[in-house]
A and B are shown apart, each in its own frame.
Chain A
Amino acid sequence: MKKTTLFDIISPVMIGPSSSHTAGAVRLGLLAKHIYKNTPKKVKFTLYNSYAHTGKGHGTEKGLLAGVLGLDVDDRRIKDIFNSDIAKNIDYTFSYADNFKKHPNTVDMVFDDSMFVSGESVGAGEVAIRKINDFNVKLTGRYNNLILVYKDKPGMISQVTNLLQKEGINIAFLNCDRNAKGQEASMIIEIDGKMNTSIEDEILKIPDVYFVTYVEKLEN
């Protein structure tokens, strides 16, 4: 795990009132938007537990929508996002539920009825995307990330990591998950430094890689 730094203590500059319920919400929305690569036309949010119960008093809904629209945690437009011009062309709904198997601050997001993302705000503004469609992931926004969906078969990891090695990229963390043996699998690679996006195309050329996307770390 990354150690807390001096910078973490004297930042972020953020819209209040809560690092977990406001800034964390913005970051979750923003990460989901980065995964989707686009601003969706339609988004359905489901807030759970503490997010559902105290979200309103903390501007959690505003934060989530602002993040999906690409605003950063310190953007003054968050406060009045529902009436903002940039929110005019997006269709959004919020629903609320209790599910104590889930983390206290959980949100599910469905983009354009086509992508499902679930995330948690784990405290002090730190977040983690835990599910993309059917795959378990852990995406914190702390590192630049490469996300892959591919057929579960021998040699897939080494083919991908070979490509990264050729580019001199160091892997900080690597997590894999699969639905069942020989079925669809997912790989989350957190890297140090930046990656040239042309590597995405190279990886896509590997047989049986279905999907690849590069998600840059969050700046704030």
Chain B
Amino acid sequence: MDTFEQLYKECLTKNKTIYQAAQENMAIEADISVDKVRSFALKSLFEMKEAIRSGLISKELSMSGMCGQDCYKVQQYYKKQNSMFGKLFEKIIEYALATSEENIRMGRIVACPTAGSCGIVPAALIAISEEYNCSEFEQINALITAGEIGRIISLKVALAGAVAGCQAECGVASAMAAAAVCQLRNGRVSQILNASALALKNVLGLTCDPVAGLVEVPCVKRNPFLAVHAITAAELALCDVESKIPLDEVVDAMGQTGALMSPMLKESSQAGLAVTKTGLKVQKQVFD
């Protein structure tokens, strides 16, 4: 299955969910059993939880010294004051920051789909699972659903900031997370695909302009933003709000946007935030 339209038809005609179609497909591809596919996903899920656990208790700075203590700050604040959006919101932004900060301090994370966007899928998936007491079985279903969304997108657009900007990294992670959340909330196949389309549409054109060429500014803080963004998309889709543009076409638009984007805004740190007065000052401090 190379397009979302094909995936949708496969699910509809054979009365399957996305994760069922995806795990069967992967089993055939790798010549292994569906159980093996699911245990692979479980290992990733386990490592995602480990990264959150380590990230929540660390205050260690990154090698550049730019990032590493925001998760701590957020937790300290929420000890005194509840979030305006309640406990679930607190968890989502804490988990996203915890994972993303683990990444920049050379901790162990799951690149899902990439290292720079590693906090988005776990934060949304695990926070929602805890809130609604989703079983391990359901969590694996959600991760496989997210993975299938990322896989089909990647067949058209390489998931790399250097190729298509951050829309192809954090943006795609957000589309994957929206699908995972929708699956956890028992969304239908059409709702899941809509959730991803809505999430991805809203980040088209997102550039990759990291300060000093490091996966830190703006990447770390973009993770909690786009984890929350995924929840919005899932909520809308679960209410049967439809994306007027189908997911396949949104992906085409992302590919075209990425191709038209200047190379200076695609992971080369030659424009945008990287060359602001402060961005350049930080670069000098880090590397001179």
A residues near B (Cβ < 8 Å) are 3-19, 22-23, 50, 53-54, 56-59, 62, 74, 76, 78-79, 123-125
Q: Is B280 in the interface zone, CB < 8 Å from A? A: no
- Chain B contacts for A7, CB-based, 8 A: 26, 30, 40, 147
Chain B residues with a Cβ closer than 8 Å to the other chain, count: 53
- Chain B contacts for A16, CB-based, 8 A: 102-109, 115, 118, 215
- Chain A contacts for B148, CB-based, 8 A: 6, 9
Q: Cα distance A120–B30 when bound, in Å?
A: 26
CB distance from B159 to the nearest CB of A (A): 6
Spot the interface stretch: B76-84, B88-96, B149-157, B193-201. B149-157
In the complex the two chains form, is B110's CB within 8 Å of A11's CB? yes
In the complex the two chains form, is A57's CB within 8 Å of B63's CB? yes
B residues near A (Cβ < 8 Å) are 22-23, 25-26, 29-30, 37, 40-41, 43-44, 47, 62-64, 102-116, 118, 143-144, 146-148, 150-151, 154-155, 158-160, 162-163, 176, 212-216, 286-287
Could you give 18 example pairs across A and B, Cβ below 8 Å?
A: A6-B23, A6-B25, A11-B44, A13-B44, A13-B109, A15-B109, A16-B118, A16-B215, A17-B106, A18-B116, A54-B213, A56-B287, A74-B47, A74-B108, A79-B107, A124-B114, A124-B158, A124-B159
Question: CB < 8 Å: which of A5, A13, A53 contacts B108?
Answer: A13
* Chain A: CB-nearest residue to B63: A57
In the complex the two chains form, is A57's CB within 8 Å of B111's CB? no
- Chain B contacts for A11, CB-based, 8 A: 40, 44, 110-112
In the complex the two chains form, is B143's CB within 8 Å of A10's CB? yes
In the complex the two chains form, is A124's CB within 8 Å of B160's CB? yes
- Take A6-B151, A54-B212, A54-B213 as given contacts and tell me if A12 and B103 are in contact as well, using a CB distance cutoff of 8 Å: no
In the complex the two chains form, is B26's CB within 8 Å of A57's CB? no
Q: Cα distance A166–B40 when bound, in Å?
A: 34
* Chain A: CB-nearest residue to B143: A10
In the complex the two chains form, is B113's CB within 8 Å of A9's CB? yes
- Take A17-B62, A124-B114 as given contacts and tell me if A79 and B106 are in contact as well, using a CB distance cutoff of 8 Å: yes
- Chain A contacts for B213, CB-based, 8 A: 50, 53-54, 57
- Chain B contacts for A3, CB-based, 8 A: 155
Q: Cα distance A6–B148 when bound, in Å?
A: 6
In the complex the two chains form, is B212's CB within 8 Å of A57's CB? yes
Question: CB < 8 Å: which of B62, B106, B154 contacts A15?
Answer: B106
Question: CB < 8 Å: which of A10, A15, A50 contacts B41?
Answer: A10
CB distance from A104 to the nearest CB of B (A): 8
In the complex the two chains form, is A78's CB within 8 Å of B147's CB? no
- Chain B contacts for A5, CB-based, 8 A: 26, 29-30, 151
